């Protein structure tokens, strides 16, 4: 799948190394591509991907009883089981990051993006058609698990491919700004999921939501995925695919040849992913369990705060292009280490209190989310960039992000709800230490060589 002419992003040809043995290319810059078209191709498809992924967590409180039988006298058993499946989906993400990242490095970013969105649409459709436990017994949770495994594979590959695609599409001095659209589009998808769930919760009765209403967003997600697939067909490739089969990167080449960079991705991601999933996904459920917050109102607060969060992302990206990545990362991590406990303890039963807590956390969180794609892409050379990001990133997200709702619910069920905020603060402190030693990469040219180091 060799192209007749190399394509690299926005004129930023790269004349030096980023970290370690990153190599530069002397290839001439291609004609500039349409930045808006590239952003649209990445963002629309990414929003469709994450709409499907997040709809699950917002609707879990409605379909848990339909799929899992209640334990003896314990009403939290179905919800715990549903969040356990949520976590299982995350553990397919490293596989997706590795496999789809390899496709992106060997066959091009656009090829990987096409596969991931088709997989996500299939998983969403399967979720919508999942039978109930009353109708089919154990087959119901089996179908649910299979659907989440498909979606986990898709999401793991999506981040790897779309991260590299966005950053490689950026012109000089704009990688932070382009990077921010990773979470702009992610948040739009999440916002759609939250908004549609909130709308249905207000239009339908509790019984209707539990019987059939929860299936509607998943059907919508399957249609949105098809639209995203169509839009991505117009994207331009950003990666100069190696021409000879023997020259293409091996499956584990990124981990084998760049172990330090792989560990850096893990450290960069750990605190950020836990804070992100706590604040953007789990907080409505946390408020329901710990403060008796109304389900519909909790979803409404989540929708408003997500819109605020999306608006912040480009500002964070632009700021990082001016002052560097490290100040924003350190500000995020130190802020959460100091404020996660008081903020989560401040969650009350009033609409205003939850909205204030969620928005305050999202201001801090922007220091990580707005530039995570740029930071990750700047760590690895182009040859193994997608797989190099995808595997360690997705593994870390699975370990710390995907388990956040389950652990928060488990702490509550075990009688220690106050332990979860300390867990969030502690892990953010660990990431703060990584950010301090992380090299500043904002002003360094982006490597674009597809040849292995030393060749």
397-449 tens-digit pLDDT = 888 887 787 788 788 778 887 788 899 999 999 999 999 999 898 888 887 76
Predicted pLDDT of residue 14: 38
Which pLDDT score, from 0 to 100, does residue 228 have?
83
The answer to whether residues 25 and 449 touch, using CB atoms and an 8 Å cutoff, is yes
Tokens of 429: 């402190």
Handedness of CA 413, 416, 421, 424 (dihedral sign): negative
Question: How high is the mean pLDDT of the chain?
Answer: 81
pLDDT computed for residue 32 by the predictor: 44
Lowest mean pLDDT among 171-185, 226-240, 355-369: 226-240
Integer Cα distance of 371 and 274 in angstroms: 16
Question: Which residues on neighbouring strands pair with residue 71, listed in sequence order?
Answer: 74
Q: Is the pTM of this model over 0.85?
A: no
- Looking at residue 267, what is its pLDDT? 93
Tell me which residue has tokens 């004349």: 15
For the cut 70, the answer to whether the pLDDT of residue 213 exceeds it is yes
For residue range 74-100, what is the model confidence (pLDDT) as tens digits? 555 566 677 677 667 777 888 888 888
pLDDT band at 125 (very low <50, low <70, confident <90, very high): very high
Query: Among 354, 366, 343, which Cα is nearest to 424's?
Result: 343
Contacts of 167 (CB under 8 A, 6+ apart): 9, 175, 178, 179, 373, 374, 377, 378, 446
Residues 6+ apart with CB under 8 A from 4: none
Amino acid 284: pLDDT: 78
Q: What does the pLDDT average to over 134-139?
A: 84
Between 335 and 226, name the one with better pLDDT.
335
Burial class of 58 by CB neighbour count within 10 A (0 to 12, 13 to 18, 19+): buried
**Confidence band of 364 (pLDDT split at 50, 70, 90):** very high
* Residue 21 vs residues 15, 104, 208, 249, 342: alpha-carbon distances, Å: 13, 21, 58, 16, 43
The pLDDT of residue 454: 53
Residue 74: strand pairing partners: 71
Tell me the per-residue pLDDT of 11-56, one tens digit each, with 9 for 90 and over. 343 333 344 443 334 443 443 456 777 888 788 878 887 888 778 8
35-233+259-437: CATH class: mainly alpha
Q: What are phi and psi of 331, to 5 degrees?
A: -60, -40
Give me 174's structure tokens: 């704009």
pLDDT at 9 over 80: no
Nearest in space to 142 (alpha carbons), one of 130, 134, 150, 153: 130
Give the number of other CB atoms < 10 A from CB of residue 320.
25
The 10s digit of each residue's pLDDT in 269-296 is 999 999 998 888 788 778 877 777 777 7
Residue pair 183/174 in contact (Cβ under 8 Å)? The answer is no
Instruction: Please tell me the predicted confidence (pLDDT) of residue 369.
Output: 95
What is the per-residue pLDDT for 68?
78
């Amino acid at each position: 799948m060799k192209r007749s002419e190399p394509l690299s992003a926005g004129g930023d040809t790269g004349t030096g190394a980023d970290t370690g043995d990153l190599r530069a290319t002397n290839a001439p810059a291609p004609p500039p591509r349409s930045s808006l078209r590239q952003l649209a191709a990445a963002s629309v498809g990414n929003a469709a991907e994450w709409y499907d992924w997040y709809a699950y967590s917002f609707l879990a409180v409605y379909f848990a009883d339909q799929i899992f039988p209640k334990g003896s006298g314990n009403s939290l058993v179905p919800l715990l089981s549903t969040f356990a499946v949520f976590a299982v989906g995350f553990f397919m993400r490293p596989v997706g990051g590795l496999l789809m990242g390899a496709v992106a490095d060997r066959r091009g970013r656009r090829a990987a993006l096409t596969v991931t969105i088709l997989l996500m649409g299939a998983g969403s459709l399967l979720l919508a058609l999942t039978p109930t436990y009353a109708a089919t017994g154990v087959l119901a949770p089996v179908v649910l698990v299979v659907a989440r495994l498909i979606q986990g594979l898709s999401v793991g590959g999506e981040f790897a491919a779309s991260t590299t695609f966005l950053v490689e599409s950026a012109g000089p001095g704009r990688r932070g700004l382009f990077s921010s659209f990773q979470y702009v589009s992610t948040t739009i998808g999440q916002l759609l999921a939250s908004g549609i769930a909130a709308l249905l919760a207000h239009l339908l009765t509790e019984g209707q939501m539990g019987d059939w209403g929860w299936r509607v967003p998943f059907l919508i997600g399957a249609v949105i995925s098809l639209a995203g697939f169509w839009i991505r067909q117009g994207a331009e490739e950003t990666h100069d695919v190696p021409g000879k089969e023997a020259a293409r990167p091996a499956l584990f080449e990124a981990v084998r040849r760049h172990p330090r960079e792989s560990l850096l991705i893990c450290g960069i991601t750990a605190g950020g992913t836990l804070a992100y999933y706590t604040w953007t996904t789990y907080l409505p459920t946390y408020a329901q369990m710990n403060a008796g917050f109304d389900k519909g109102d909790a979803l409404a607060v989540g929708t408003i705060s997500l819109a605020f969060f999306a608006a912040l992302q480009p500002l964070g990206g632009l700021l990082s292009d001016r002052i560097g990545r490290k100040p924003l990362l350190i500000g995020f991590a130190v802020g959460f280490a100091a404020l996660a406990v008081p903020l989560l303890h401040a969650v009350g039963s009033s609409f205003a209190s939850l909205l204030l807590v969620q928005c305050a956390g999202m201001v801090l969180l922007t220091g990580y989310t707005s530039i995570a794609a740029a930071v990750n892409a700047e760590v690895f050379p182009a040859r193994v960039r997608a797989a190099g990001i995808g595997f360690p990133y997705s593994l870390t997200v699975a370990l710390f992000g995907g388990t956040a709702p389950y652990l928060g619910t488990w702490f509550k069920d075990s009688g220690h709800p106050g332990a979860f905020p300390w867990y969030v603060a502690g892990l953010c402190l660990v990431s703060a230490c990584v950010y301090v030693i992380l090299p500043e990469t904002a002003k360094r040219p982006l490597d674009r060589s597809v040849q292995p180091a030393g060749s």
